[in-house]
Amino acid sequence: MDMDFPERFDPMRLLLSRVKKPFRYIGCDWKGSTEGLEGKKTTLCLAFPDAYEVGMSYLGFQILHSLAGETPETGVDRCYCPWPDMEAELKHNSVPLCALDSGKPLKEFHVVGFTLQYELTVTNILTMLDLGGIPLRSEKRGPDTPIVAAGGPGALTPEPFAPFIDVFCLGDGEILLPELLEVCRSCGNERKTVLQELSRREGFYVPSSTPAGKEARFRRPFRKQVVKNLDESFVPETMVVPASGIIHDRAAVELFRGCTRGCRFCQAGMMYRPLRERSPEKVVEVARKLVENTGWEELGLVSLASCDYPGLEKVIAELEPFLEERRVKLSLPSLRMDAFSVGLASRLRSMGRGGLTFAPEAGTQRLRNVINKGISDEDIERTFDEVFRQGWDRIKLYFMMGLPTEREEDLKGIIETGRLARHIAKKSGKRAKVSLSVAGFVPKAHTPFQWEPQDVRRKLYEKGTSLKREAKGNGIRLNYHDPDQSFLEAAIALGGREVSQAIEKAWKKGARFDGWTECFDIGIWESAFEECGLNPESWVNRPRFPEKGLPWDHIDVGVSREFLLRERELALRETVTDDCRRGECHACGWQDKGCPIPGGRNR
Ligand code: SF4
């Protein structure tokens, strides 16, 4: 493989000897045929507000990078958030934040496009803007500053980020990015004209186009745009290959987009509807090209629930000889809790014997019915049985605490499930390592639980410590997610535009990489909210009433409010809703907007 070491003067490189993990900043990754910025009409810097090794692992970012590289007259580069040690060095030496491959400062691009993947990366956006020489707030940006765009799931709850972003792209990047770039080109990258033009188009939300004094929720619904046919849409045949280890160090092909399982807590499952499947033939074709073009030693077949893909066996059967010949491992990152999935994992010797991970989410059948997690007690038992029979001796299970209607026995059920795993392992003659990971429930926008409160932090701490104690007594490892982080996640996820003040204040006080436990400091956020006169408990820990408006009401993700309310009712009655991929349509809102599922269409 040819490595292209850019021959350029990049002041950031001068600081490499003084920071941890300098590989984050060297820009020596292999980028296939991506051309430089030279002579391009519009230049785009894709910005990921987290560390290099996280951003490089994100498939969506790779898709956008390839897509922009193939868009006519567009030059593309990328940038990840510098770790606080590099931030300090850049500031101390008055060096601007530069894009990784060209070494060009962020402020010299026409467009800087952020991926909003996780609420707790928001302060990193401010760090990148500030170091890149771009004013933090849209209202302070002059005609020569880049257009700051944002996409990804966070764009569908835009208000807390709105003052910092010029335009939100709502929906699939394969449609929106080329359109955004085309508007930039045709408007000569003239900031005001571009934003005016975008504000008239579907799928773009320009907060500054909301007349002053009027709340965004009174404006027209801004509709998410979706790719209708994954086989016909853009798919990368090569990717940026890292020069050093990253979190998910593999090539990846998306099997399908969207999910119809209908888990009531899951934002991705609701937001990414409708379901669109890539044909097995296309998956195989893309997978082969990716492996040949990148030289990666692992290929992931990814989607929200990969084992639900009807063509999975066919894809694996066709790919196996090809991958074996090249010694490439095949992995399925999301395993369903059933014997079929374990059998499949077992067939993929490449998935290793290290251990398997599943997400029962709740400890009892009753609570799993409430959240619509379609797993029965029998499924769990059969899965454990199969896991240990097939030779694994480690298992990791994900749960949530503080779910709506949770009772004492549901928490006990978490430990009971861990004990059951150990018991079944013992029957197969194994001393299994069982680890449980428990996160506090975060109510999310555009889900049936968007009106539910989060448990107060004290309660989550009590539940977490009591679970940990119980687990220890039963020889099980248990970790629980920091309730302060879950609280902040909810405060941003459920907040309105006023939260942006606290975000800016917290950033000024030093909040950085809030999703990383070693950097997170809730004290900073508590004082920031207080100084802004905001009490996040008032919207995080209290229920919202359906008759009142929500800060994201102006964003239409396609799933209807009526469906969400109906699902909420069913949750409270502990009643499950079947997966519409296998049964009848539940009229989620996509039924008359081109849902491609037979039976769902035109109902
Ligand atoms: S419209 Fe019907 S079939 Fe389509 S995703 Fe919604 S509930 Fe399922």
Average pLDDT over residues 506-521: 97
127-157 confidence digits (pLDDT tens): 999 999 999 999 999 999 999 999 999 999 9
- The phi, psi pair for 360, rounded to 5°, reads -70, -25
Q: How far is CA 59 from CA 63, 170, 208, in A?
A: 6, 18, 30
Question: Could you tell me the pLDDT band of residue 211, with boundaries at 50, 70 and 90?
Answer: low
Pocket test for ligand 1, best of 586, 601, 603 (most atoms within 8 A of CB): 586
Torsion 162-223-267-52 (CA) sign:
negative
Residues with CB under 6 A from ligand 1: 260, 273-275, 580, 585-588, 590-591, 595, 597, 600
455 conformational bin, left if phi > 0, alpha if psi -120 to 50, beta if neither: beta
Higher pLDDT, 206 or 12: 206
Whole-number Å distance, alpha carbon 521 to ligand 1 midpoint, is: 42
CA distance 72 to 252: 25
Q: Is the predicted pLDDT of residue 17 greater than 90, yes or no?
A: no
Q: What pLDDT does residue 333 have?
A: 80
Under 8 Å between Cβ of 363 and 478? no
Q: Give the residue, by CA position, lying nearest to ligand 1 atom 3.
A: 600
Is the pLDDT confidence value at 450 over 70? yes
The amino acid at residue 99 is A
| Global confidence as pTM | 0.94
What per-residue confidence (pLDDT) applies to 560?
A: 96
Measured in Å, residue 399 CA sits from the centre of ligand 1 at 27
Choice between 218 and 203, residue whose per-residue pLDDT is larger? 203
pLDDT tens for each residue of 457-502:
999 999 999 999 999 988 899 999 999 999 999 999 999 999 999 9
Q: Max CA-CA distance within the chain?
A: 70
Identify whether 543 is preceded by a cis peptide bond (ω within 30 of 0): no
- Counting other chains too, the contacts that 205-208 makes at CB distance below 8 Å and 24 or more residues apart are 205/155, 205/158, 205/167, 205/168, 205/170, 205/554, 205/555, 206/166, 206/167, 206/168, 207/138, 207/158, 207/162, 207/163, 207/165, 207/168, 208/138, 208/139, 208/166
Question: Is residue 104 predicted with pLDDT exceeding 50?
Answer: yes
Within a 13 Å sphere around the CA of 275, how many CA atoms are in the beta-carbon half?
Answer: 27
pLDDT digits 0-9 by tens, 216-232: 555 778 999 999 999 99
pLDDT at residue 603, as a whole number: 43
Q: What is the Cα–Cα distance from 25 to 15, expressed in whole angstroms?
A: 10
Reported as type and span, the H/E element at residue 316 is: helix 312-325
Other Cβ atoms less than 10 A from the Cβ of 445: the count is: 22
Best CA proximity match to 521, nearest among 120, 80, 21: 120
Report the nearest atom of ligand 1 relative to the CA of 599. 3
Instruction: Tell me, in angstroms, the distance from the centre of ligand 1 to residue 435's CA.
Output: 36
Say how many Å lie between the CA of residue 419 and the centre of ligand 1: 37
- Strand partners of residue 301: 253
Nearest CA to ligand 1 atom 1: 591
Structure-token pair, residue 561: 């409010």
Please answer whether residues 205 and 167 qualify as being in contact, where contact means their C-beta atoms are separated by less than 8 angstroms: yes
Q: How far is the CA of 586 from the centre of ligand 1 (A)?
A: 6
The protein residue with its alpha carbon nearest to ligand 1, atom 2, reads 585
Residue from 273, 559, 578 to probe ligand 1 pocket by mutation (most atoms less than 8 Å from CB): 273
Query: pLDDT-based confidence at 351, cuts 50/70/90?
Result: low
Higher confidence at residue 3 or residue 194?
194
Taking the CA of residue 596 as reference, the ligand 1 atom at the shortest distance is 4
Report which of residues 473 and 322 the model is more confident about.
322
Ligand 1 atom at minimal distance to the Cα of residue 585: 2
Pocket test residue of 559, 597, 602 for ligand 1, highest count of atoms within 8 A of CB: 597
Q: For 534-543, how does the pLDDT look when each residue is reduced to its tens digit (9 = 90+)?
A: 999 999 999 9
Alpha-carbon gap, residue 388 to 395, rounded angstroms: 9
Alpha carbons within 13 angstroms on the beta-carbon side of residue 176 total 26
The percent of residues above 70 in pLDDT, for the chain, comes to 94
Ranking 41-50, 60-69, 143-152 by mean pLDDT, the lowest is: 60-69
At residue 40, φ and ψ (nearest 5 deg) are: -90, 145
Query: What is the DSSP-derived secondary structure letter of residue 289?
Result: H
Entry field: residues in the chain: 603
Q: What is the per-residue DSSP string for 388-437?
A: HHTT--EEEEEEEES-TT--HHHHHHHHHHHHHHHHHHHHTT---EEEEE
588 C-alpha vs ligand 1 centroid, how far in Å? 5
Mutate which of 256, 260, 579 for ligand 1? The one with the most ligand atoms within 8 Å of its CB, which is: 260
Distance CA 180, CA 572 (A): 43
Q: How far away, in angstroms, is 537 Cα from ligand 1 center?
A: 35
Buried b (16+ CB within 10 A) or exposed e, 464-474: beebbebbeee
